[in-house]
């Protein structure tokens, strides 16, 4: 089958190489789950709260949900059966192989059965995150020409069904809205919504349908096809979409499971939203399924909820971002939560730089091994090895997972730096993408002609080949692991009638690592809005809350470089000097 239009395909000789070297083994997500279910149908696969998407449920006791329903506990056989029914239901709706479907679900069982159903029919989930709002979802639907949008139930202050109706009115490609919950469409919606429950009730499982000669070959994706679209953290106006194939992604699951020590007896806790690459696949819930282990979905990463689940489910491994790790460390050290953490063998920390100082506290406080993870949705993932010496574990961000991952550390002129010096990281290898989806112009900048991806990270290599992340040369803020493209927020500020120019930079924060500071130059002669009004304005444009500037500073003019560009370096220094002052 020809590649999906808009996807930069793997050059055939490279694809051949990765197969010959055993990286790509011709597996697909659909076949992987089917095989596990055949091998051990009765083994527990998933534990998930029955309630809605991730939200601040600090007061909701573990084991119950807002609706009072019991937690979902599914075996591999049950998960496979559910995915198969939903797959049949999706097909009956007319959703086809290669169709794109935006999925915005939190840490709930519906996420797992829905994405496996989509994988099975060869439709591509586009993994939106729970905090995304109108501008992001509209952009994903438009970029992917999505035919369906899958949402959960309402959370305080946000009813995704309202948003879905709004988006559907503006995007004619979006034929279906599927709701994991009450599927009543708001008054005035263009089409009736579909309940996931109704899809699940399909009378014939998908595998019974596709096993007819008529369907064979046409309905199961092949391993070299794109399985889904992830979101890039990005540094441009809107997040780019990242195509990942079954072949390459299943390799990352297999290798991650190995490097993270997963066995069938392991229990992985997803404390972060599972739509993100890290809790999805490093090793994440998918790595856990690959290994035949059990995945547990936490409704919230707060210390009491997540650590309560560690104790109750005898969790052996979980992965978090640095701010969450800090909260857990403080909660345990301070005795504010007292759960039995004796089952926990590995705490992964990644997504943003974890300070060596905090890293040193992990083993004595939590009694487990720290594993640092430096990864990216575009591909390359580095792990500290579980058997590395403590100093390597606390002071480096690990090394690539594949023997054939190639790294280059370059100076500003694209010349290699001396070993041990800091420079821009470029990479290529058996699971790093060849290009963003439908983004030719951007790809020309983000990739070199010989296929190296410019990560935008500044790193140095230790003499032993481990990576230390030193900073970034991309115009992005890493707010405790959540990536914010400066340009995206600047564009929202520029839409305000009083704003002449805007520049968004990172300011240091002891807890999140970085927060956002927006510097704004107003138009002459306008009635100056207060900073809080500008923040409210940005929020009102309908975007993820984490992108609303933490601080807005009005200035007369921006500092400039000697070639006349806005000096973000000077603005960062200015932001740092003001970070102490009240917002």
Element (H, E) at 325: helix 322-333
* Unique residue bearing structure tokens 């050290």: 333
- Contact between 352 and ligand OOB by CB under 6 A: the answer reads yes
Query: Residue 394 is encoded by which pair of tokens?
Result: 């606390």
- Closest CB 17 distance from ligand OOB, rounded Å: 24
Q: Does 381 bind ligand OOB (CB under 6 A)?
A: yes
For position 376 contacting ligand OOB by CB under 6 A, the verdict is yes
Is the four-CA dihedral 55, 58, 64, 69 of positive or negative sign? negative
Span from 64-72, 302-310, 345-353, 497-505 in contact with ligand OOB (CB under 6 A): 345-353
Q: Which of 55, 282, 305, 432 binds ligand OOB (CB under 6 A)?
A: 282
Tokens matching residue 51: 């309630």
Q: Measuring CA to CA, how many Å separate 203 from each of 92, 207, 386?
A: 11, 12, 47
Task: Provide the b/e sequence for 51-63 (b: ≥16 CB within 10 Å).
Answer: bbbbbebeebebe
8 binds ligand OOB (CB under 6 A): no
* Alpha carbons 520 and 132: distance in angstroms, whole number: 24
CA-nearest of 538, 429, 410 to 484 is: 538
Question: 60 vs 355, which CB is nearer to ligand OOB?
Answer: 355
Residue among 27 and 457 whose Cβ is closer to ligand OOB: 457
- The contact mask relative to ligand OOB for 446-475 (x = CB under 6 A, - = no) is ---------x-x-----------x--x---
Structure tokens that stand for 26 in this block: 């011709």
Distance CA 314, CA 308 (A): 10
Output 65 or 107, the one with its CB closest to ligand OOB.
107
Shortest Cβ 289–ligand OOB spacing (Å): 17
Size of the site for ligand OOB (CB under 6 A): 22
Contact region for ligand OOB (CB under 6 A) — 135-143, 373-381, 407-415, 433-441? 373-381
Residue 372 contacts ligand OOB per CB under 6 A: yes
As measured in angstroms, the least distance from the Cβ of 323 to ligand OOB is 13
The answer to whether residues 349 and 363 touch, using CB atoms and an 8 Å cutoff, is no
Give whichever of 106 and 350 is closer to ligand OOB, judged by the CB atom: 350
Beta strands in 414-572 (DSSP E): 423-428, 453-461, 467-472, 476-479, 482-485, 499-509, 513-522, 551-554
**Measured from the CB of residue 434, what is the shortest distance to ligand OOB in angstroms?**
16
Least distance to ligand OOB, CB of residue 316, Å:
19
Closest to ligand OOB by CB, 114 vs 427, is 427
Smaller CB separation from ligand OOB, 240 or 492: 240
Quick one: how far is CA 476 from the chain centroid?
16
- Mark 219-248 with x for binding to ligand OOB (rule: CB under 6 A) and - for no binding: --------------x---------------
Distance between CA atoms of residues 306 and 311, nearest Å? 9
Binding flag, residue 256, ligand OOB (CB under 6 A)? no
Distance in angstroms (rounded) separating the CA atoms of residues 356 and 184: 50
DSSP string, 380-442: EEEE--TTS-HHHHHH---EESSTT-EEEEE-TTSPBPPTTS-EEEEEE-TTS-S--TT-HHH
Residue 31 or 443 having the CB closest to ligand OOB: 443
- Which of 177, 377, 433, 507 forms a contact with ligand OOB (CB under 6 A)? 377
In the complex, least distance from residue 156 CB atom to ligand OOB, rounded to whole angstroms? 26
The whole-angstrom distance between residue 517's C-alpha and the CA centroid of its chain comes to 24
Q: Which of residues 88-117 bind ligand OOB (CB under 6 A)?
A: none
Binding segment for ligand OOB among 76-84, 121-129, 368-376, 525-533 (CB under 6 A)?
368-376
C-alpha separations of 103 from 129, 137, 176, 182, 423 in Å: 8, 10, 12, 16, 37
* Least Å from the CB of residue 137 to ligand OOB: 18
Q: According to the binding rule CB under 6 A, does residue 163 interact with ligand OOB?
A: no
> Residue 151 or 321: which CB sits closer to ligand OOB?
321
579 in Cβ contact with 508 (< 8 Å): yes
**Torsion (CA) 523, 525, 530, 534 in degrees, nearest 10:** -30
Positions in the binding site for ligand OOB (CB under 6 A): 233, 277-278, 282, 350-353, 372-377, 381, 397, 455, 457, 469, 472, 478, 483
């Amino acid at each position: 089958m020809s590649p999906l239009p808009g996807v930069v395909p793997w050059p055939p000789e490279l694809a051949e190489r990765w197969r010959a070297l055993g990286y790509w083994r011709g597996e697909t997500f659909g076949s992987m789950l089917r095989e596990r279910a055949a091998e051990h149908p009765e083994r527990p696969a998933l534990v998930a709260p029955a309630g809605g998407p991730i939200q601040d449920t600090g007061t909701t006791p573990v084991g119950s949900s807002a609706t009072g329903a019991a937690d979902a506990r599914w075996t591999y056989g049950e998960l496979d059966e559910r995915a198969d029914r939903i797959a049949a239901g999706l097909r009956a709706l007319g959703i086809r192989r290669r169709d794109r479907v935006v999925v915005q679900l939190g840490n709930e069982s519906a996420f797992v059965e829905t994405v496996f159903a989509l994988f099975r029919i060869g439709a591509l989930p586009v993994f939106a995150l729970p905090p995304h709002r109108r501008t992001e979802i509209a952009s994903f639907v438009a970029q992917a020409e999505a035919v369906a949008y899958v949402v959960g139930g309402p959370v305080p202050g946000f009813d995704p069904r309202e948003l879905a109706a709004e988006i559907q009115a503006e995007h004619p490609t979006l034929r279906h809205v599927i709701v994991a919950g009450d599927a009543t469409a708001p008054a005035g919606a263009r089409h009736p919504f579909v309940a996931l429950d109704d899809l699940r009730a399909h009378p014939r499982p998908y595998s019974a349908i596709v096993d007819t000669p008529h369907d064979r070959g046409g309905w199961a994706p092949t391993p070299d096809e794109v399985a889904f679209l992830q979101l890039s953290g990005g540094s441009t106006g809107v997040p780019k979409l990242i195509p990942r194939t079954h072949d390459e992604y299943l390799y990352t699951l297999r290798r991650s499971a190995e490097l993270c020590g997963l066995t069938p007896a392991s229990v992985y806790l997803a404390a972060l939203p599972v739509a993100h690459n890290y809790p999805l696949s490093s090793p994440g819930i998918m790595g856990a399924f690959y290994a035949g282990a059990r995945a547990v979905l936490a409704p919230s990463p707060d210390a009491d909820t997540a650590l309560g689940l560690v104790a109750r489910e005898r969790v052996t491994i979980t992965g978090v971002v640095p701010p969450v790790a800090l909260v857990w460390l403080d909660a345990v050290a301070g005795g504010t939560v007292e759960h039995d953490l004796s089952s926990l063998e590995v705490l992964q920390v990644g997504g943003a730089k974890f300070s060596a100082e905090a890293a040193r506290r992990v083993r004595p406080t939590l009694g487990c091994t720290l594993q640092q993870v430096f990864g990216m949705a575009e591909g390359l993932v580095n792990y500290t090895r579980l058997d590395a010496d403590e100093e390597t574990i606390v002071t480096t961000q690990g090394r690539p997972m594949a023997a054939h991952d190639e790294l280059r550390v370059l100076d500003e002129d694209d010349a290699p730096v001396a070993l041990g010096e800091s420079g821009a990281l470029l990479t290529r290898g058996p699971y790093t993408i060849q290009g963003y989806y439908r983004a030719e112009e951007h790809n020309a900048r983000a990739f070199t002609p010989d296929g190296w991806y410019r990560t935008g990270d500044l790193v140095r290599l230790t003499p032993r080949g481990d990576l230390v992340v030193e900073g970034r040369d991309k115009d992005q803020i890493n707010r405790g692991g959540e990536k914010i493209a400066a340009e995206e927020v600047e564009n929202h500020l520029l839409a305000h009638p009083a704003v002449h120019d805007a520049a968004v930079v990172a300011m240091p924060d002891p807890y999140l690592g970085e927060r956002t500071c927006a510097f704004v130059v107003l138009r002459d002669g306008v009635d100056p809005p207060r900073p809080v009004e500008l923040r409210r304005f940005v929020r009102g444009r309908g975007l993820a809350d984490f992108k609303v500037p933490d601080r807005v500073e009005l200035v007369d003019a921006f500092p400039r470089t000697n070639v006349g560009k806005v000096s973000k370096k000077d603005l960062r220094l200015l932001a740092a000097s003001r970070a102490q002052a009240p917002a």
